[in-house]
Amino acid sequence: MAMPSPHSDHWTAADLDHMPDDGLRYEVLNGQLVVNAAPKPKHQWLIQTLFLALQPVVPADMATLLGIGVLIGSDEPVPDLVVVTRPIDMESRGVPAAQVQVAVEVVSKSTTFPDRMVKPVIYASAGIPHYWRFEINPFKGQLPGETLPVLFAYSLGSDGNYEQTHRISAGQPVKVSAPFEFTIETGSLLP
C-alpha cells in the first residue's frame, strides 16, 4: 500500500486510518506525522511488566491499555501505556484525552526528543493529570549511582504544566499515590 499524502502540510488523526499495517508506529504530534520503528524487546518487556503490575492496583473504574492513541484535537499521540477512566468506547480509534489519567512513555533511542520534550507538553496541554517517563538507557543527567530503569513521575500543576513528583531509580521501592496508590520498584520491571 502506498503511503498517503496529507491534504496539506498538516496531518490529522484521521490520516492515520490510511496508514499501512506494516509494524511501524504512526502518530500525529502537533500536526506532524511521526513514524517510529517497532520497539526493542527491553522496551516491550518493561511496558508489559508494568501493565501486569498495575492490574491489581488500578481501581475498578479505570483500565490500563497498551499502545493506543490519545485523541487530542487533530493530534493522536500513542503513549506506550495509558490508565483511563471507564467506560471505554470499544469502537473508537483511540481514547479521548479527558479519560486519560496517566500517560506512560518508555524512552528509546529513536523517541528521546518526543518522549522528553514534545509529548509532555501535548499531554499537559490536554489536561492529562499524570505523566510517567521511564529511562531504560544511560542518559544525560543520570545521577551517579542511579541504576536503570529510572522513572520520572509528573503531576499536572496549577499552572497547567507538569511538576516532577518522583525520580525513582532501580532498587528503591517508592509509593506513588496519584491517581491511585502503587508501590513501584523499577528494577523489577526488567529481567
Question: Would you say residue 31 lies in a domain?
Answer: no
- 97 DSSP 8-state letter: G
**N-to-C CA span, the chain:** 38
Question: Would you say residue 10 lies in a domain?
Answer: no
* pLDDT < 50 positions in the chain: 1-3, 6
Question: Would you say residue 141 lies in a domain?
Answer: yes
Position 2 scores a pLDDT of 44
Position 162 scores a pLDDT of 98
**The three cell numbers locating residue 123:** 499531554
Q: Which domain holds residue 97?
A: 39-189
CB within 8 A of 52, min separation 6: which ones? none
Cis peptide before 87 (omega within 30 of 0): yes
Position 13 scores a pLDDT of 73
State how many domains the chain has: 1
Position 8 scores a pLDDT of 60
Rounded Cα gap, residues 58 and 102, in angstroms: 11
Question: Would you say residue 23 lies in a domain?
Answer: no
Rounded Cα gap, residues 157 and 18, in angstroms: 37
pTM of the model: 0.87
Question: Would you say residue 182 lies in a domain?
Answer: yes
Question: Would you say residue 73 lies in a domain?
Answer: yes
**Cα Rg, the chain, nearest whole Å:** 16
Question: Would you say residue 22 lies in a domain?
Answer: no
Question: Would you say residue 140 lies in a domain?
Answer: yes
Residue 129 belongs to domain with CATH number = 3.90.1570.10
